[in-house]
Structure 1
């Protein structure tokens, strides 16, 4: 019996030794893409089968190995609230918007955190499934409480708005640890950026690498007819950031927050997730362009534009 057990142990150990490197290699090539699909009228399409989706990486067809819909996965939500001087007038509006967003989107199995950012990035509320606790953390910050911990390294920034850093470190410190959940950042800001270590490309690459959708509510006091160059810069930054990650940006001058959150909630409960093992096994740190097409006339997917391959 002892000899038999010993022999079995050798077989198991040998199998593990042979399978472990293979498993690590496969996992390192796993790419997950989250997307929505709309028809030609802009309506969400939610009942497509896996066979309706086709995916190419740098022009090369890939085989979809994993398929799920958002209703099967809970949400991890990061709320990034601009607390710089340009948003002082919108503090109460932001709190009402956050309350409305959480009421429209969060379900008991979801959880969220909140970061208030200016030239520091304060974690006002850590992961919680309680909307009231999240709102309380944001409210205390707006009332002058600066005892919340910072995310990322402590930085002495000369100017007032570190939007790119807020995105980068929120994903690096909070989102990347999340598994088996759909990851979403929601930004409340005018999009103006002037003091980050990371640039817009860094923020986008970080979101793409963690398959995190970015949505934004743009708030500014200027009417469209009186937009400044800084207003237009903020608009372009938020549009590029959200489009590159598969999310959307909204202008509160054009749509009421209630309508925006209804649309966002519909998006976040109508997502598809596709997973594939890239046929490109090189760890070269290059950008890989991903294109998804969907069977059906007029159907348009919205997803991140690609990802950065691992460099080692």
Structure 2
């Protein structure tokens, strides 16, 4: 009887180990990649009414089979406003608060949410996720009066006196836009792109946004002194162009583009997006970057999407 009981325990242990192994194998074989993207014709007009058969997807040159496809205009939005409040930028948004509120009133529906994060050497949550445009404006105004009373994200004393753009992008995605499904994720940056104190670098910020399928838009206000921009501002402009391009968003020159016009173009883009998913044929979770290209079959169409994703060793699910 005792022998039979020991045999039973051993069989149960082996069964548990086998089930765990099966589960681990199953997880390692599933690499679902989801991409949100927009399509434009040669004139820049959004192309509507397209279906899964109009697109081909390639990962590192290898064709992938589309598992799901949809027009995403009806999915809820989750938007983050990242506002640079360093000395060179803190007056820009003040002059355009009404434009910001008008944009949010136009784009937000009851199921949509937005948050506002102000950053310099600290990152203060001016307003948590809300569906109220007025709530965002109130939060930004409260920041102006008493910034120190607002919650701080990812505090780091080594940033003293600097501007932590990459940390703001990383924290905005990680804290407010990561995880879950069934909504479109967007960051809108108001900054000149100056970066001098982040713990995270540009690659990490882009990777965090790419992994969460976050579109990054930037409204760039670059001051001109004596008829030219400085080398630092040129570098900031290049950073924003790269950051938005790698995530499928766009960069707007706030100095030469009316902010209401930029908001209008962002709103149109958010209403005219598609989404597709595929199971990657490359099962290795090796931390390498996978370049993803979406091609539209109709001639003359241009697809704007994130450049790819990192096959994280800790989490193989981009």
Q: What is the CA distance between 1:289 and its match in structure 2?
A: 0.5
Report the equivalent of 2:27.
Answer: 24
Corresponding residue of 2:89: 87
1:119: Cα distance to partner? 0.2
Following superposition, the deviation at residue 138 of structure 1 comes to 1.0
Is the partner of 2:199 in helix, strand or coil?
coil
Q: Distance in 2 between matches of 1:200 and 1:281?
A: 26
Distance 1:262 1:220, change over 3 A: same
Distance in 2 between residues matched to 1:77 and 1:178, nearest whole Å: 14
Distance 1:282 1:165, change over 3 A: same
Residue 276 of structure 1: SS of its match in structure 2?
strand
Cα shift at 1:22: 6.2
Partners of 1:178 and 1:121 lie apart in 2 by 24
Which deviates further from its counterpart, 268-277 or 220-229? 220-229
Structure 2: how far apart are the matches of 1:26 and 1:110?
33
Distance in 1 (CA, whole Å) between partners of 2:236 and 2:72 is: 30
Structure 1 counterpart SS, 2:136: helix
What is aligned with 2:273? Answer: 271
- Say which SS state the counterpart of residue 87 (structure 1) adopts: coil
Name the Cα RMSD after superposition.
2.1
The residue number in structure 2 matching 1:203 is 205
Within 5 Å, which residues of 2 pair with 1:1-312? 20-21=23-24, 24-25=27-28, 27=30, 29-222=31-224, 225-312=227-314
- 1:224 Cα shift? 9.7
User: Is the contact made by 1:30 and 1:276 (CA closer than 8 Å) also made in structure 2?
Assistant: yes
Q: Tell me, in whole angstroms, the C-alpha distance in 2 between the residues paired with 1:254 and 1:26.
A: 49
> d(CA) in 1 for partners of 2:214 and 2:122?
22
- Displacement of 1:257 in angstroms is 1.1
Which whole-Å CA distance do the structure 2 matches of 1:190 and 1:98 have between them?
17
Once the two structures are overlaid, the 10-residue window that deviates more, 83-92 or 203-212, is 83-92
Cα distance in 2 for residues equivalent to 1:178 and 1:155? 31
Question: Given that residues 104 and 261 in structure 1 are in contact (C-alpha distance below 8 angstroms), is that contact kept between their aligned partners in structure 2?
Answer: no
2:210/2:309 contact within 8 Å kept: yes
Q: What are the ranges of 5 or more consecutive residues in structure 1 without an aligned counterpart?
A: 1-12
- TM-score by length of structure 2 reads 0.88
Distance 1:58 1:113, change over 3 A: same
- When Rg is computed on C-alpha atoms for both structures, the one with the higher figure is 2
**How many residue pairs align between the two structures?**
298
Q: Post-superposition shift, 1:170?
A: 0.8
Aligned counterparts of 2:102 and 2:163: Cα–Cα separation in 1? 25
* In structure 2, C-alpha distance between the alignment counterparts of 1:224 and 1:210, rounded to whole Å: 41
Structure 2: unaligned runs, 5 residues or longer: 1-14
CA contact (8 A) 2:39 2:303 kept: yes
The answer to whether the 8 A contact 2:73-2:274 is kept is: no
Shift of 1:135: 1.2
* Secondary structure of the structure 1 residue equivalent to 2:295: strand
Q: Give the C-alpha shift of residue 99 in structure 1.
A: 1.4
